[in-house]
Chain A
């Protein structure tokens, strides 16, 4: 329990009292996402995305378990088994389209969640562990999504597996043996497909477990808020339930509307036509690109085109691509500014939006056909990405003059409305 004024779980119903004695699960829920968890009262809609990410994982696990009932992880029949789901299984098309688009929506909400954390400084003390676990979840998601995309065993699946396992061959000396070990062969085949299926089924549950740790770590300091100012007293918070359950319910509705529009009216918009062609190890599609959520990192990979300091370009690209994600682990210590929220950091705020545009551009460049202009632009954008996190952030943390912070959350929200600011009851006579 994070704050002394948090409500205590006190079941009135005798059964719930008995339950509380024997297995205090309702108490756990009450304290985690119930009335027993005080949350800053000023959270804006960007704080909805954590819950939405959880919902997206839930959709993926439910639809995924069902798809596994019909899918066959064998190179000879995998493609046909997916089409069997699409054509003959009752509501199979719905479940498969929901799963395929669900992955995209999971990434959309997680990217919003990450950028919210970046803007409001949610990665800073005392929430470093929350951030670190979040980056772990992000990495696990990427691995899961990649392996899931291999399973339909279409052309993009096959060549995606070929290219992505090819990253490992950039490692000097041990690279090629590692790639062979990952694939269980010289090229992706049945063995690779089977192990990817096994891991694709396993990892979401690992993600769910790390999410539990993520929330646990969050509940020790409590949630950050748009001012970045720490909670100081009861007047700064409201209980999670019903205030934020209601708000998240509304957010979930909006999310599901967007999701349904994609699933029912444009289910293949985010996919690639070539994945409706069965895997063919003898012919690469003309234009191979990863799924959209990998595109910024793919652009970084492609932008390192010259050997430098004796390190081959391929290895630079692979190091940069992994480095672009791994540097997030160090962010709490790279950014030494004591101010959390970008609202009070005039320079950081501007550069944050530069980063957003930079990443969106990288995403566009990642799928664009390779021309000299595209290469040059992605080199500049990739350069800014690294400069932003590794050079600019440490420098501005040192020299930026922050705007004056509010004294407390309630002050910033209420502007002197004493009646609401005072703890319950004490302002009755004012």
Chain B
């Protein structure tokens, strides 16, 4: 008996799963899904080239410093960067005294305790402190921004599909709703407090345009501060903030891969040598 039935178990179990799938196919709705405005009018990030791309890419410290300036003067009014410390700025070419001065003069101070009363207080930042954010907590951040939460910027360039190019495209991408869109999707509207931006996934973003005009910041190195220039610089700075060890990583990588190629060629030679004359 068992001898006869045992070989049938597997096909029967298999048939059960297959039938369940066939039934699912029969039962599935065949109406084509409705198109959405966010599928039709969403744009891929602009093609922006950065110095840190490619296996030999390096950060451009002057660009990072300009980008830092944009962050400091524009973005940091709403966006925190809690994982980056002032001391890290030495890596992008600021000197120790400059870092000290930047920390001391930061718009918001570092939270601390009053040493006499133990009450919450603030103090001037030191190079070892992380950037203090503009809001003490999430509730305050939402309250100050129409219930939208400005995301922390420490990892933003790695936490968004498209990376720095996406960020640069987004901040320069604000536009009026295209006539085509209104024609195709009469129901589409931009709710009050939101802004149309085709680079944002569902087209309506809570952040007001951060870079409103050319020359919004004045670069010390004389670079012309067009909106795209500021956007590119700040997105490069955000990439550095998210991945500060990028240069070290790529440099190490070249050495490691170079070593491994030689080692592997040697290993191949040794392998052929040992198997020499042996058919296999």
* A positions within 8 Å CB-CB of B: 41-43, 80, 83, 86-87, 93-94, 97, 238, 242-243, 246-247, 249-250, 252-254, 256-257, 260-261, 263-265, 267-268, 273-274, 276-277, 286, 303-306, 308-309, 311, 313, 316, 320, 323, 327, 330, 334, 336, 371-372, 375-376, 379-380, 382-383, 386-387, 389-391, 394-395, 413-414, 417, 420
A-B contact pairs, 11 of them (CB 8 A): A83-B155, A253-B268, A260-B253, A264-B254, A264-B256, A303-B24, A305-B28, A306-B24, A376-B28, A386-B21, A391-B15
Inter-subunit contact B23/A257 (CB<8 Å): no
- Where chain B touches its partner, the secondary structure class is helix
Q: How far is the CA of A93 from the CA of B151 in the complex (A)?
A: 23
Neighbouring B residues of A380 by C-beta, 8 Å: 21, 25
Pair B10/A417 contact, Cβ less than 8 Å: no
Contact assessment for A390 and B280 in the assembled complex, using a CB-CB cutoff below 8 Å: no
Segment of B67-75, B98-106, B257-265 in the binding face: B257-265
Interchain CB contact under 8 A, A256 and B25: no
Q: Are B249 and A264 within 8 A (Cβ)? A: yes
Scan B235-268; emit 1 where CB is below 8 A from any A CB, else 0.
Answer: 0000000101100111011101100110110011
CA distance A371 to B30 in the complex (A): 11
Is there contact, CB below 8 Å, between A391 and B18?
yes
Taking the complex as formed, is B7 at the interface, i.e. its CB lies under 8 A from any CB of chain A? yes
Q: Are B278 and A390 in contact (CB under 8 A)?
A: no
B263 & A253 in contact (Cβ 8 Å cutoff) = yes
- Report if B55 contacts A (CB, 8 A): yes
B77 part of interface (Cβ distance < 8 Å): no
CB distance from B242 to the nearest CB of A (A): 7
- The interface centre, meaning the residue of A242, A308, A375 with most chain B CB atoms within 10 A of its CB, is A308
Q: How far is the CA of A414 from the CA of B279 in the complex (A)?
A: 7
Cβ-closest 10 pairs across A and B: A264-B253, A390-B14, A253-B264, A276-B159, A306-B27, A306-B24, A386-B17, A246-B271, A276-B155, A250-B267
* Complex contact B260–A253 (CB within 8 A): yes
Q: Mark B134-169, 1 if CB is under 8 A from A, else 0.
A: 000000000000000001001100111100000000
B11 at the interface (CB under 8 A from A): yes
Chain B residues near A334 (CB, 8 Å)? 10
A53 CA to B18 CA, complexed, in Å: 33
Report B202 CB to chain A, min CB distance, Å: 9
A253-B267, A264-B249, A308-B19 are known contacts. Are A277 and B279 too (CB-CB below 8 A)? no
Flag whether B48 is at the interface (Cβ < 8 A): no
Q: Which residues of A contact B244 (CB under 8 A)?
A: 87
Q: A243-B274, A250-B268, A268-B158 are in contact. Are A390 and B249 (CB under 8 A)?
A: no
B31's nearest neighbour on chain A, judged by CB, is: A372
CA distance A413 to B27 in the complex (A): 55
B83 interfacial by beta-carbon distance below 8 Å: yes
Give the complex CA separation of A246 and B161 in angstroms.
43
Query: A254–B158 contact, CB under 8 A?
Result: no
Q: Which of B20, B29, B260 contacts A256 (CB under 8 A)?
A: B260
Evaluate contact between B10 and A304: CB separation under 8 angstroms: no
Question: Could you tell me if A413 and B253 are in contact, using CB atoms closer than 8 angstroms?
Answer: no
Q: Are A274 and B159 interface neighbours, CB within 8 A?
A: yes
Q: How far apart sit A86 and B154, CA to CA, in the bound complex (Å)?
A: 12
Indicate which residue in A80, A311, A386 contacts B83 across the interface (CB closer than 8 Å): A80
List 17 additional A-B contacts (Cβ < 8 Å) besides A249-B271, A253-B268.
A41-B280, A83-B155, A87-B244, A246-B270, A247-B271, A252-B267, A273-B159, A277-B159, A306-B26, A327-B13, A376-B25, A379-B21, A379-B25, A386-B18, A387-B18, A391-B10, A395-B11
Query: Are B161 and A273 interface neighbours, CB within 8 A?
Result: yes
Residues of A within 8 A of B270 (CB): 246, 249-250
Q: Which of B11, B201, B256, B279 contacts A390 (CB 8 A)?
A: B11
* Known interface pairs A41-B280, A379-B24; A390-B10 also in contact (CB < 8 Å): yes
The reply to whether B245 and A87 form a contact with Cβ atoms under 8 Å apart is yes
Residue of A nearest to B6 (CB): A333
Chain B neighbourhood of A395, CB < 8 A: 11
Report yes or no: A390 in contact with B55, Cβ–Cβ below 8 A: no
